[in-house]
Structure 1
Amino acid sequence: MLIETDRYQQVLGEELRKLRTARGWTRKELNERLQSGISLQTLATYELGTRQCSVVRLAELCLAMDELPQDLLARVHRRLFAEHQGRLKVCLDDVVADDQPELLPLRRWARGRLAEGGAAEVQFDRTTLEQLAALCELGTEELVTRLRRLSAPAPRTARAGGSHADRACGS
Structure 2
Amino acid sequence: MSARDRSDEEARLQKAFGAELRLARIRAGLTTRTQLCRRLREHGFHFGTEKTIASWEQGRREIGVVRLIHVCNAMNTSVADLLQRVERRLYTEKSGHVLIDLHQLANTDDPLLQPLCGWARSQAPTSVNHRNSVMLLPPEAVVAAARQCGLTVEDITDRLRSLDLPTSVPASPDGVADSGEGRLR
Q: So what's the TM-score if we normalise by structure 1?
A: 0.45
Structure with larger Rg? 1
Higher RCO (C-alpha under 8 Å, 6+ residues apart): 2
